[in-house]
Structures are given as C-alpha cells and as structure tokens.
C-alpha cells in the first residue's frame, strides 16, 4: 500500500535519536563542559560497535559447535549459519547482548583513557587533530583487518530480540532498550556535571593554568572524563551494531564525529538537555529525508547530501540568532548552590 | 621563629634578560611580608618560580611544614599547591563561566565530590559541600559581596574580580599565601578591609603571607618586614619604616 508508515518512522527516528543522543551527551561533557576538543568521538563509537559485533557473532557460532577457524562469521557461509543459529535461544541472545554492552564500555573506556597519554603530550591545541587522526587510523585498520571482515565488515549480528517473530514488537522492544540506555547515560552525566567534579571540569575548561594552580590534577581529570565519555560512546556503538545487525568500517567515518558536534552546537554547548534537543532535530532531518525522498520519487538528490545542507543551514541560522545554541549553558546545581539560592532569596524578599 | 619558605640564591634568565639574579629571602612562620619593587624587577617571576611555573636556572626553594622540609623548586604547580602554598594572580584568572560562589567553592583541597568513585553518591560529599558553602558565605559577607554570589565571575567589576581572586585563595586552608597585588584596582576602604582580614588570619590562625603590592601606603601599614627587588636583585630589606626611607629604594622607584 502506498503511504507513510508513521509508526515505522517514529521507531526508526527515536532509535537513532537514542543512540546519537548518547554520543552527543558524552561529547558535550567532554568538549562542552571539560574543554577537551574531541574530534575522535567516532573511535570509541566504532570500537563499541566492533567489540559487540565480534563478541556476538564469534560466540554464537562457537557455542553452536561451529569451528570458526574454518567458517568464520565474516565468510558467506558464516553469515548464513548466523542467520540459522542466531535467533534460536532468547537467553543466549540477551546474555550476549549484556556481556557485549559491558565489554564495549570497558574496552572503549580503556582506549579513551590510554589515548589521553599522547594527548597530554601534544598540548591542548593539537588534541582535536590527534583524536581525529586516531579515528581515521582505526577505520583504516578495520578496513584491512581480516578477522573483523575487512571492508565487508560483519553481518548477521543477532539482535537481543531477534527471536521474536513479529518485527514491529521486536523494534519497539529494542527502542525501549535504547531509550533505557539513553536515560542511564543522561542521569549519569547529569550527576557528574552537577557535582564538585563538574565544577572542576568547567574550571579546567575556562582556565587550565589557574585550575592547575588550585591544585587540580588536570591530566587525571581529563583522563577520567575521557574514560567515562568513551565508555558510554562504546555502549552507543554496541546499540548501533545490534540495530543495523551489521557493521562495516565506513559507518565510522569522521562525519559521525562532526554530526555529534553539530548536535551539541545546535542544542547548546555545555547544556545536556540541549544535546538531546540537538540530537532530536538532526536525526529527525536525517530520518525524514530518508523516508520522504523515496516517496516523492526523486532520484536526483541523495538524502545524504541534502542532509548535510540542511544541517549546515540550521547551524548557521541558530548561531546567528543565538550563538550559544538553542539552550545555553546554565550554572551547575549542587547542594551548595541550592542553599545559596534559598539564602539570597530570603534576603531579597 | 622557624621559616616557612626559604628562597636560596634563585636565578631565572630569559635569554639575555636576568629576571631573577640570585635572590635569597625567607618568610618566617606567622610572617606578613611585603615584596615591592618597580615594574619588571622580578616580583611575579619570583612567585612563578616558587609556585612551580618556572624552574629556576640556579638556586633552590625550600618549604617547611609540620611534616618536614621540602625542596619545592621544579615541582608542578598543583603539587606546590598541595604542599600548602596558595597563590593569586596579578591579573585575575577567574573561572569566568562559574558563578562567584562556584569560584570560591572550587579551591578547597580534598573535596570528596571531586572523586569519581564518590561523585554519584551525593550523600558522601553533601555535608562537606554545605560546610564549604557556609565558609564561602562568611567570606563573602566579610567583604560585602554576598549579593554577587550567584553572578557569573565575568559579570563582576574589575575591583570585585580582584577581590574574588584573593578570596578564592583564602578559601582553601594552606600554610603560606602568595598574594600578587591584592589591592590593585580595589578602592581604598576595601583594600584596607582586605589587609586587616589578612592580618587577622595571620594573628588568629598563624598563617604566613608574602604579598606583592604597589600601593605601598597600604602595604606598609600592615606588614612586618619588606623585601625590595630591583632588576632581579635584592635591593634592600628591613622593617617598613627603614625601607621607605632608604635612599636606594627612593632612587629605584623615582629613577634618578
């Protein structure tokens, strides 16, 4: 039937919104709040996606008695076997998913932590480019590394709800799961920012030298932030790999990083709710174009190109009207600031 | 009386410029010491050497606390701070996107809420945070700045920025405070208020201060001892009255 599948559209938009929001929120804490120019967000996203994809595909085959040195999951026979074996055991699927999420967090977080070592040596101006090049190096490595499928990537990754026959229910359940992880990320980051640690992060962003003079261990603080931010980006990557049930190196091009940057600049640098808004707007543009353009029967313009034009236009308009984004940064809220508001409120009237 | 800080024959060169050329001075326990000298005489450079911004080309810096005597030249600024030496900057280096209150709350050392393992359990750091807030409020009240507590530091007037810079230093418990021109740009009554507060801290809590100040009339009223720098060397030292009447000091300032 010709028509617009509004429910399908909403599910697809909200799932991508959830995944991208995790990236945008953590990027906002790293770059907006702490001042680490993270142009390598995609590294940790990609690592999370590949860790979970590898873990799930290899383990499913191995647990079903397949010899992965003969039939590896990136091989066509492996993909066929994954399709046959992948969705038989609900407990196994969900168990592997949870294991993959935890492992993605740890691996991506650890790599984020280790990357601060070269970062601290090149000085703040070069942080962005060091991370940007790490992203491209990771992608090129994946493109040529056979055990992760090289340029073909990995396919047939069993979704945690793959055993449910009805695809709509499956999608809705997965959406709930994604939004659950988004909520977890949001609450964690909100608590992190609205605390003495959050205050110190902003101080490091404002004046690193003065923060150092106030006894703050700036390198350690940055490493901690990158560990947590990268860990959650790893989770976002894992969620993406199960959503698309496949991963390949070109999904992790630098444009992913800049998409997340566009979200936080649009929504408001340093404002976590702004990141959600930015992610909602940009993923909506993306999904709307993907859904609507084929309906219009236009084949000349690829949604991919149009999306960047629209995102660019949105950014320019918002920044002209309000340079600090749609929702500007606000002072953090700690017990002390609440107490102070009460006190000055009483004195004022 | 034992010394808190000892600077021994410190030299710092920038190319051919001798910013510090063999400075020896000391700050006694409970000392309120002035450091004066014309522009470019090396006062701030000396602060930078003591607080770990510069490594001296010659000489050493020693710091003594209840735990022992430490050589502190060559340490990082954050390590020097953790030893118990707090400095303020001549040009305020406030955290501009933080409120006045947050700027004050930031400095104290050993905050539980800065620890990543505790940050998610507000219970573990809430009391400490409120205690610090009370201390900050008291400090703000002392200098009649409570009404600015929730303003962004960038919204303050220059004089208030300068005051906040000094107050921020005073928020954290330390042994020695290095204040770089705390009265610059601050009006006379408030500058006097600040110096008498510093003197009170010294008398009541036994803290030590080394203060750079160009407003000699205020400084001389409060300090016990003064060092005068000129072209990277110690020109003279002594009680305030001796120093201001020393012909060499007058010559250095007026420049005959």
Whether A46 and A252 have beta carbons less than 8 Å apart is answered as yes
pLDDT at A344 exceeding the cut of 70 = no
In 3D, which of B161, B172, B58, B47 has the Cα closest to residue B104?
B172
Question: Closest chain B residue to A214 measured between Cα atoms?
Answer: B107
Could you give all domains of chain B from N- to C-terminal order, each with its CATH number? 3-93+172-254 (3.40.50.300), 95-155 (no CATH)
Ranking A318-322, A336-340, B76-80, B153-157 by mean pLDDT, the lowest is A336-340
Using one digit for the tens of pLDDT, what is the confidence trace for A251-308? 998 989 999 999 999 999 999 999 999 999 999 998 888 887 777 776 677 777 788 8
pLDDT of residue B1: 59
Question: Closest chain B residue to A187 measured between Cα atoms?
Answer: B120
Cα–chain center distance at B91: 12
Whether B107 and B169 have beta carbons less than 8 Å apart is answered as yes
Question: Closest chain A residue to B113 measured between Cα atoms?
Answer: A196
Residue A121 CB neighbour total at 10 angstroms = 9
Using one digit for the tens of pLDDT, what is the confidence trace for B208-253? 999 999 888 889 889 999 999 998 999 999 999 888 888 888 888 7
- Separation in Å, CA of A216 to nearest CA in chain B: 6
Residue B39 CB neighbour total at 10 angstroms = 7
pLDDT of residue A31: 92
- The answer to whether B133 contacts A336, with C-beta atoms less than 8 Å apart, is yes
Which DSSP letter does residue B153 get?
G
pLDDT of residue B206: 87
Q: Which is higher by pLDDT, A336 or A55?
A: A55
Best of A215, A224, A225, A329 to disrupt the B interface (most B CBs within 10 Å) is A215
Q: Which of B106, B119, B172 sits opposite A195 (nearest CB)?
A: B119
- Separation in Å, CA of A223 to nearest CA in chain B: 11
Residue bearing tokens 């959406």: A175
- How far does chain B reach from its first CA to its final CA, in angstroms? 38
Whether A24 and A258 have beta carbons less than 8 Å apart is answered as no
pLDDT of residue A108: 95
Could you give the angle at the alpha carbon of B148 between the alpha carbons of B147 and B153, nearest 5°? Answer: 175
pLDDT of residue B255: 67
pLDDT band for position A50 (50/70/90)? Answer: very high
Which DSSP letter does residue A33 get?
I
Average pLDDT over residues B181-194: 88
3-state SS assignment for residue A155: coil
Rounded to whole angstroms, the Cα distance separating B175 from A60 reads: 62
Which chain B residues are closer than 8 Å to A213 by Cβ?
51, 77-78, 81, 87, 89, 93
Whether B59 and B10 have beta carbons less than 8 Å apart is answered as yes
* β-strand pairing of B68-71 with B233-238: unpaired
Using one digit for the tens of pLDDT, what is the confidence trace for A146-199? 888 888 888 888 888 878 888 889 999 999 999 999 999 999 999 999 999 999
pLDDT of residue A349: 34
Whether A239 and A181 have beta carbons less than 8 Å apart is answered as yes
The verdict on B158 touching A (C-beta cutoff 8 Å) is no
Q: Work out the mean pLDDT of chain A and round it to a whole number.
A: 87
- The answer to whether B95 contacts A336, with C-beta atoms less than 8 Å apart, is no
Rounded to whole angstroms, the Cα distance separating A102 from A109 reads: 10
Q: Work out the mean pLDDT of chain B and round it to a whole number.
A: 89
Q: How many residues does chain B have?
A: 256
Rounded to whole angstroms, the Cα distance separating A166 from A168 reads: 6
Could you give all domains of chain A from N- to C-terminal order, each with its CATH number? 6-340 (1.10.3470)
Burial letters A142-166, b for 16+ CB under 10 A, else e: bbeeeebbeeebbbbbbbbbbbbee
Residue bearing tokens 């992060």: A201
- The answer to whether A212 contacts B76, with C-beta atoms less than 8 Å apart, is yes
Ranking A68-72, A315-319, A332-336, B42-46 by mean pLDDT, the lowest is A68-72
Rounded to whole angstroms, the Cα distance separating A35 from A244 reads: 32
Q: What is the CA radius of gyration of chain A?
A: 21
String of DSSP letters for chain B: --EEEEEEEEEEEETTEEEEEEEEEEEETT-EEEEE-STTSSHHHHHHHHTTSS--SEEEEEEEETTEEEE-TT--HHHHHHHTEEE--SS----TTSBHHHHHHHS-SS-GGGSTTTTT-HHHHHHHHHHHHHHHHHHHHHTT-GGGTTSBGGGS-HHHHHHHHHHHHHHS--SEEEEESTTTT--HHHHHHHHHHHHHHHHHH--EEEEE-S-HHHHHHH-SEEEEEETTEEEEEE-HHHHHH-HHHHHHHHT-
Rounded to whole angstroms, the Cα distance separating A346 from A348 reads: 5
Using one digit for the tens of pLDDT, what is the confidence trace for A81-104? 777 777 778 888 899 999 999 999
Rounded to whole angstroms, the Cα distance separating B169 from B126 reads: 22
Average pLDDT over residues B95-116: 88
- B21 strand-pairing partners: B11
Q: Rounded to the nearest 10 degrees, how much is the dihedral formed by the CA atoms of B77, B83, B87, B93? A: 50
Cα–chain center distance at A177: 15
Residues 6+ positions from A230 with CB-CB distance below 8 Å:
A26, A43, A44, A108, A109, A111, A112, A113
Rounded to whole angstroms, the Cα distance separating A246 from A52 reads: 11
Using one digit for the tens of pLDDT, what is the confidence trace for A113-141? 998 888 777 776 788 888 899 899 999 99
In 3D, which of B75, B74, B64, B68 has the Cα closest to residue B26?
B64
Which chain B residues are closer than 8 Å to A340 by Cβ?
101, 133, 137, 149-150
pTM assigned to the model: 0.86
pLDDT at B201 exceeding the cut of 90 = no
Rounded to whole angstroms, the Cα distance separating B173 from A322 reads: 41
Rounded to whole angstroms, the Cα distance separating A327 from B183 reads: 38
Which chain A residues are closer than 8 Å to B108 by Cβ?
none
Which chain B residues are closer than 8 Å to A205 by Cβ?
97
Rounded to whole angstroms, the Cα distance separating B229 from B233 reads: 6
- The answer to whether A202 contacts B95, with C-beta atoms less than 8 Å apart, is yes
3-state SS assignment for residue B33: strand
Q: If phi over 0 gives left and psi between -120 and 50 gives alpha, with beta otherwise, what is residue A268?
A: left
Could you give the angle at the alpha carbon of A302 between the alpha carbons of A298 and A306, nearest 5°? Answer: 105
- The answer to whether B101 contacts A344, with C-beta atoms less than 8 Å apart, is no
Backbone angles phi, psi at A67, to 5 degrees: -85, 105
Whether B7 and B30 have beta carbons less than 8 Å apart is answered as no
Whether A43 and A111 have beta carbons less than 8 Å apart is answered as yes
Interface of B with A in 82-141 (CB under 8 A): 82, 87, 89, 93-99, 101-102, 105-107, 109, 111-116, 119-120, 122, 125-126, 129-130, 132-133, 136-137
Tokens found for residue B114: 């800065």
pLDDT at A314 exceeding the cut of 60 = yes
Give the HSE-up count for residue A47: Cα atoms under 13 Å, Cβ half-sphere. 26
- B18 strand-pairing partners: B13
Whether B7 and B233 have beta carbons less than 8 Å apart is answered as no
Rounded to whole angstroms, the Cα distance separating B240 from B220 reads: 6
Cα separations (Å) of A163 from A9, A81, A85, B195? 23, 15, 10, 75
């Amino acid at each position: 039937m010709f028509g617009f599948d509004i429910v399908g559209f909403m599910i697809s938009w909200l799932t991508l919104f959830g995944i991208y929001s995790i990236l945008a929120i953590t990027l906002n804490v790293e770059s907006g709040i702490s001042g680490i120019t993270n142009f390598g967000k995609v590294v940790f996203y990609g690592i999370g996606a590949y860790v979970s994809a590898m873990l799930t595909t290899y383990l499913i085959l191995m647990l079903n008695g397949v010899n992965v040195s003969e039939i590896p999951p990136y091989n066509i026979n492996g993909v066929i076997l994954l399709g046959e074996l992948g969705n038989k055991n609900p407990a196994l699927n969900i168990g592997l998913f949870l294991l993959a999420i935890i492992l993605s967090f740890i691996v991506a977080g650890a790599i984020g932590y280790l990357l601060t070592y070269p970062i601290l040596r090149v000085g703040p101006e070069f942080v962005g480019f060091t991370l940007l090049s790490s992203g491209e190096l990771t992608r090129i490595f994946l493109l040529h590394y056979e055990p992760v499928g090289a340029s073909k990537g990995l396919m047939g990754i069993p979704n945690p709800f793959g055993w449910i026959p009805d695809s709509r229910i499956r999608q809705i359940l997965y959406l709930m799961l994604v939004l659950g992880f988004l909520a977890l990320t949001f609450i964690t980051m909100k608590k992190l920012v609205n605390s003495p640690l959050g205050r110190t992060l902003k101080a490091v962003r404002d004046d690193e030298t003065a923060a150092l003079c106030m006894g703050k261990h700036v390198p350690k603080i940055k490493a901690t932030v990158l560990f947590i931010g990268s860990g959650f980006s790893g989770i976002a990557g894992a969620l993406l790999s199960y959503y698309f049930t496949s991963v390949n190196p070109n999904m992790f091009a630098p444009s992913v990083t800049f998409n997340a940057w566009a979200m936080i600049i649009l929504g408001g640098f340093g404002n976590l709710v702004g990141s959600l808004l930015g992610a909602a707007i940009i993923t909506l543009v993306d999904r709307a174009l993907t859904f609507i353009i084929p309906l219009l029967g236009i084949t000349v313009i690829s949604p991919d190109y149009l999306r960047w034009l629209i995102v660019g236009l949105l950014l320019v308009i918002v920044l002209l009207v309000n340079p600090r984004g749609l929702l500007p940064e606000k002072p953090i809220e700690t017990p002390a600031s609440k107490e102070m508001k009460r006190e000055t409120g009483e004195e004022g009237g | 009386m034992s010394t808190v800080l000892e600077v021994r024959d410190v030299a710092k060169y920038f190319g051919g410029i001798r910013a510090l050329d063999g400075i020896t001075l000391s700050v006694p326990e409970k000392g309120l010491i002035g450091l004066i000298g014309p522009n470019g005489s090396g006062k701030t450079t000396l602060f930078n050497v003591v607080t770990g911004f510069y490594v001296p080309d010659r000489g050493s810096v020693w710091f003594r606390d209840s735990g022992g005597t430490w050589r502190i030249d060559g340490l990082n600024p954050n390590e020097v701070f953790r030893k118990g030496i707090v400095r303020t900057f001549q040009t305020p280096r406030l955290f501009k996107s933080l409120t006045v209150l947050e700027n004050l709350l930031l400095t104290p050392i050993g905050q539980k809420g800065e620890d990543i393992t505790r940050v998610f359990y507000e219970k573990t750091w809430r009391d400490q945070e409120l205690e610090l807030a009370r201390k900050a409020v008291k400090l703000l009240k002392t200098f009649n700045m409570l009404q600015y507590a929730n303003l962004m530091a960038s919204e303050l007037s220059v004089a208030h920025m300068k005051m906040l810079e000094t107050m921020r230093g005073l928020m954290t418990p330390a042994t020695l405070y290095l204040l770089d021109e705390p009265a610059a740009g601050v009006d006379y009554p408030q500058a006097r208020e600040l110096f008498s507060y510093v003197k009170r801290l010294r008398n009541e809590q036994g803290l030590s201060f080394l203060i750079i100040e160009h407003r000699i009339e205020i400084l001389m009223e409060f300090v016990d001892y003064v060092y005068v720098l000129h072209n990277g060397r110690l020109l003279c030292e002594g009680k305030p009255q001796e120093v201001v009447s020393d012909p060499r000091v007058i010559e250095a300032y007026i420049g005959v």
